[in-house]
């Protein structure tokens, strides 16, 4: 009886483990996430610094790039990789992870005014001039 129960419990645990591993999403199936950091005060170990929260400037320059948007349309909304980022009159500079990103400017009705794919490089600022 004990031997049978032990074999059944081992078989059940194995089937459960295989089933859970089969349900785990693969890395290619996961959606890519964009991290946008906003300017916030950063209190370093020795001095206050106005930078990107919560990272010190050395971490930001070593791991992120920026995109700066110059436009005359002050009511445009910025969308990065399909997600709303900010209104252009609130901020014109965005810290993004390196790689290719879709930048869109839309008016208040949701119509696309500008669409561009930009390559973000670590420690560099990519400037977009929109007329």
pTM of the model: 0.57
With a CB cutoff of 8 Å and minimum separation 6, the contacts of 24 are none
Is the pLDDT assigned to residue 10 strictly greater than 90? no
pLDDT digits (tens, 9 = 90+) for 26-79: 544 445 555 555 555 555 554 444 444 455 666 666 778 889 999 988 889 999
Question: What Å distances lie between residue 16 and 8, 75, 79, 119, CA to CA?
Answer: 12, 54, 42, 43
Nearest Cα neighbor of 45 from 56, 60, 59 is 56
pLDDT in tens, 59-74: 666 778 889 999 988 8
The whole-angstrom separation of Cα 104 and Cα 67 is: 12
CATH number for the region 27-130 comes to 2.60.40
Nearest alpha carbon to residue 71 among 50, 86, 82, 51: 86
Q: Which pLDDT belongs to residue 49? A: 47
What is the domain partition of the chain in residue ranges?
27-130
């Amino acid at each position: 009886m004990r031997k049978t129960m032990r074999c059944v419990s081992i078989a059940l645990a194995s089937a459960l483990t295989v089933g859970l591993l089969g349900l785990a999403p693969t890395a290619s199936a996961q959606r890519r996430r964009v991290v946008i950091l906003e300017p916030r005060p950063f209190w370093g170990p020795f001095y206050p610094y106005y930078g990107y929260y919560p990272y010190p400037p050395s971490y930001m320059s070593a791991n992120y790039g920026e995109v700066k948007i110059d436009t005359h349309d002050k009511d445009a909304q910025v969308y990065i990789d399909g997600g709303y980022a900010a209104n252009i009159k609130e901020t014109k500079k965005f810290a993004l992870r390196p790689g290719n990103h879709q930048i869109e400017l839309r008016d208040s009705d949701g119509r696309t005014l500008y669409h561009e794919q930009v390559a973000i490089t670590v420690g560099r600022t990519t400037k977009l001039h929109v007329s």
